[in-house]
């Protein structure tokens, strides 16, 4: 797997510097755990790395090249906000998401994924009627649908019950063990299920 390299990143939001001079490298078989208090810039950093936002200063490369089409096909970003249409069912949300990302996913495949995340029987219910944890499972089902090398996960455990947390940690550990890479944020410690962890701490800037 190619390396993701961020060099001398600076992020300024509302005239406040969240971080400056930040550099990191992500390679295969690695999980980076971003830690820091609220407002330290964890979400902003993930959005910059995903290509959804631009840094004030600094460079990001994938396979030695600026972020481009190859990066977007190899990366999967699951944000803290779920990105679901509450009027649509789990199946409809996932089918539309696959269409947006030019992924071939049959109804059979989507149903198999919903079985994997424990949502069979709820697949036709509008997502606004699901619990917060069930909605989170719909969003995380994308991890099973796109064969991406790099996962960027912003607070992926939010609203999950114990079984859901353990299942996601197992999934993350398998992804890293199989040559993938992950950068994640979380307000709870990660267990040994995810494998070795590299910690990157962001500090709140006054």
Instruction: Express each pLDDT in 77-122 by its tens digit.
Output: 999 899 999 999 999 999 999 999 999 889 999 999 999 999 999 9
Q: Is 14 within the bounds of a domain? A: yes
Number of domains in the chain: 1
Q: Which structural domain, as residue segments, surrounds residue 163?
A: 4-201
Number of H helices, E strands in the chain: 6, 9
137 vs 69, higher pLDDT: 137
Task: Report percent pLDDT > 70 for the chain.
Answer: 98
How do beta strands 65-66 and 16-26 pair?
A: unpaired
How do beta strands 181-185 and 150-154 pair?
A: parallel
* Exposure of 69 in the CB half-sphere (CA atoms within 13 A): 1
Q: Which CATH number fits the domain that encloses residue 166?
A: 3.40.50.300
Rounded Cα–Cα distance for residues 24 and 42 (Å): 13
206 has pLDDT over 60 = no
Rounded Cα–Cα distance for residues 55 and 24 (Å): 14
Q: Is 157 within the bounds of a domain? A: yes
Q: Is 158 within the bounds of a domain? A: yes
* CA 126 to chain CA mean position, Å: 23
Query: Residues with Cβ < 8 Å from 88, sequence gap 6 or more?
Result: 96, 126, 127
Helix axes 107-116, 90-100, angle to 10 degrees: 120
Nearest to 119, CA basis, from 102, 94, 86: 94
pTM higher than the cut 0.85: yes
Q: Could you tell me which residues are beta bridge partners of residue 63?
A: none
Q: Is 206 within the bounds of a domain? A: no
Q: What is the mean pLDDT of residues 152-164?
A: 95
Q: What is the mean pLDDT of residues 127-138?
A: 97
Q: Is 66 within the bounds of a domain? A: yes
Q: Which pLDDT score is estimated for 203?
A: 81
């Amino acid at each position: 797997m190619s390396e993701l390299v961020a060099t001398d990143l600076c992020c300024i939001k509302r005239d406040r510097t969240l971080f400056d001079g930040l550099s990191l490298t992500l390679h295969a078989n690695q999980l980076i755990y971003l830690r820091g208090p609220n407002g330290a810039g964890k979400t902003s950093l993930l959005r910059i790395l995903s290509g959804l936002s631009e840094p004030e200063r600094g460079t990001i490369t994938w396979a030695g090249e600026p972020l481009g089409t190859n990066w977007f096909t190899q990366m999967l970003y699951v944000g803290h906000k779920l990105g679901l249409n509450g009027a649509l069912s789990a199946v409809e949300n996932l089918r539309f998401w696959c269409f947006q990302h030019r992924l071939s996913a049959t109804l059979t495949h989507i149903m198999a994924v919903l079985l994997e995340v424990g949502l069979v029987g709820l697949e036709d219910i509008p997502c606004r009627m699901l619990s917060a944890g069930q909605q989170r499972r719909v969003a995380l089902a994308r991890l099973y649908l796109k064969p991406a090398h790099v996962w960027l996960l912003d607070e992926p455990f939010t609203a999950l019950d114990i079984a859901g947390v353990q299942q996601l940690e197992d999934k993350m550990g398998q992804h890293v063990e199989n040559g993938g890479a992950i950068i994640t944020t979380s307000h709870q410690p990660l267990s040994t299920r995810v494998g070795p962890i590299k910690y990157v701490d962001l500090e709140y800037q006054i």
